[in-house]
Structure 1
Amino acid sequence: MRSWLLGRWWGATAPVRLSRVLLVVGTLLALVPTGAQWISSLSSQDGDRDGPRGDQRFVEKLDRARSELFTGSLVYTKPSSLELTAGEPAFFRAEVFGQWRAPQDGRASAKVTVGGQVAVKLHCSGAASCALISSKRQPVTNGRDEKEATAWLWEVTPEKAGRVNLALTVTSYYEGTETVLYEKPPIVAQAKVEEAPKDGGAFGWLTDAYGWVRRTFEELALLAGALSVILGLWIAWKTRNSPPVVAQPPPTTDGGPSQEAGSGQVQSSANSTAATGRTSGGSPPGEAP
């Protein structure tokens, strides 16, 4: 009985209660933007009251960071030692040490005030352009016993013959921000860019072909000379090791009718010659005619 009465009462008052709930929720949603604006205004007022104090703290941090800077050494490639040719890239290197160090490899050096995050920049103008191929910012610490340096490397690309202007700067930043603690005045220098070697132009292929033909003939001549030497040595060896040639006497035949006839003719001719000589020449001395 009690549950039945409760159900009738809830069913009668349900629309009223639902409307009240919706009214409360709508009021709260309307007040949320107003409350957010009020809270933000309060925070901005507090920030305005703490602004000078916050700026003062930041300035104090910067002063402390500047006081922690130290004297280091900048060692870099001498611009005069760069052999620049139009169209052929070269490399420029710079290093920062955490202590003063005189260069020992023929490079240039300068004292710099550094600390924390350091950036070394190379600015090029004129006949060449420069491109950094290492990290832009690198940490440099005050290590008295440190021997290794933080290095930067650029690729210098000459575009034409002439002069290239180089400006090298070293900047120390506050932590990872863009706030500069110290920047060394630029080190300015110039380098010369030579002209690229000229090719043969439209008839360059003739020069190349002539050189190829000449080299081919020279190689063939060397090959022929080597073959002739080898052939001469082989002939000499062959001649030395071959058996000697012995002359053979003329063949002899047994005496026959023809040989006897020839002998008789020769004998009779000799007799007649001797007789004729005695007749025509006279008697030998001591004999009477």
Structure 2
Amino acid sequence: MLSGFLVVLGRSDGPENQATYVQQIIHARQQLFTGQLIHTDVRSLELAAGAESPRLFRVDILGSWRRAKPGEPQVPVSAGAQIGVKLHCSGAGLRCTSLSSERQNVLAKNGGATWVWDVRAQRAGKASFALTVTAYFRETSTVLAEKTPMRSRVDVAAPKGKNHWISWVEALWGWVTGAITSLGGLAVSASAIIAVILTVIRRQLPDAEADADTPEHVGIDRRRPRTRSVPTSRPRLRPARTQPSATGSVRFRRRSEAHRDRE
């Protein structure tokens, strides 16, 4: 109640009240001290598209420094106020669901707070993370200090059992949907986008499937051609040669013998 009253008093008109509000902000900033931020290394998440169980991303802000575990990134951060931590996720259908309050108090050097997110990826590809840390003046939206966003990128693996070209098509579709979202009110032809995707899929298919999908030639008459009947000439039958009979042979020999006797 007292802090809310002071904030309202500080925001009211009048030079004295405005000066009081400014003095409170200056004093609150002077009370800040350097704390320690430790967060999960995104490479250790080993993200895979369509994984059944989500991965946990954790952030700890401590009032004093301690030795971090191997592989835990750590950076200095302002403490001694109400701290707000946000995790921004993008790419590969990445979803980061917060499991803790966005703003928590880290007021003393022996104190601390923890933030946790569930991380899931829907598609294979590049995923980006951006972590922002802000120190607020009490429960207001007045910013006392804000750290430069800490960015990191990681590759999301394709789910097991999928071919490379299928993952590539999914990544392409993710890029197309992202482009449509970024274009906003601009008119985008859905049929043209689908045609491009189908063309790319056909080029990425194996040769056997490409041969099977080769379109047939149009305009070819596949009816059975007609055959002309060619007249065939019948072979002429020659009379069979007859052997001379026995009576004719005897007569011929007698004539020959009679002719020789005359000579």
Short-chain TM bin? 0.5 to 0.7
Q: Residue by residue, what CA displacement relative to the aligned partner does 1:180-217 show, whole Å, maximum 9, x if unpaired?
A: 100000111011111112379xxxxxxxxxxxxxxxxx
Whether the aligned pair in 2 keeps the contact of 1:114 and 1:171 (CA below 8 Å) is no
1:51 Cα shift?
A: 1.4
Match of 1:137 in 2: 103
Aligned equivalents of 1:70, 1:79: Cα separation in 2: 27
Aligned equivalents of 2:49, 2:125: Cα separation in 1: 9
> Is 1:116 the equivalent of 2:81?
yes
1:142 Cα shift?
A: 2.6
Aligned equivalents of 1:62, 1:79: Cα separation in 2: 36
Q: Pick one of 124, 128, 131 that aligns with 1:168.
A: 131
Aligned equivalents of 1:153, 1:65: Cα separation in 2: 27
Aligned equivalents of 1:196, 1:103: Cα separation in 2: 32
Q: Pick one of 137, 140, 164 that aligns with 1:177.
A: 140
- When you count helix as a share of all residues, which structure comes out higher? 1
1:48-127 aligned within 5 A: 51-88=14-51, 89-127=54-92
> Is 1:155 the equivalent of 2:121?
no
Whether the aligned pair in 1 keeps the contact of 2:82 and 2:107 (CA below 8 Å) is no
Q: 2:60 corresponds to which letter in structure 1?
A: E
Match of 2:195 in 1: none
Please give the root-mean-square deviation of Cα atoms over the aligned residues, in Å.
2.3
Bigger Cα Rg? 1
- Taking structure 1 as the reference length, the TM-score comes to 0.49
- What is the total number of aligned residue pairs between the two structures? 151
Aligned equivalents of 1:101, 1:190: Cα separation in 2: 26
1:149 Cα shift?
A: 3.3
Q: Residue by residue, what CA displacement relative to the aligned partner does 1:59-88 show, whole Å, maximum 9, x if unpaired?
A: 110000000000000000011211101122
Q: Mark the runs of 5 or more structure 1 residues left unpaired by the alignment.
A: 1-48, 201-289
Aligned equivalents of 1:74, 1:50: Cα separation in 2: 39
Aligned equivalents of 2:107, 2:144: Cα separation in 1: 15
Q: Mark the runs of 5 or more structure 2 residues left unpaired by the alignment.
A: 1-11, 164-263
Match of 1:187 in 2: 150
Aligned equivalents of 1:120, 1:99: Cα separation in 2: 18
Identical amino acids, percent of aligned pairs = 41
1:186-265 aligned within 5 A: 186-198=149-161
- Taking structure 2 as the reference length, the TM-score comes to 0.54
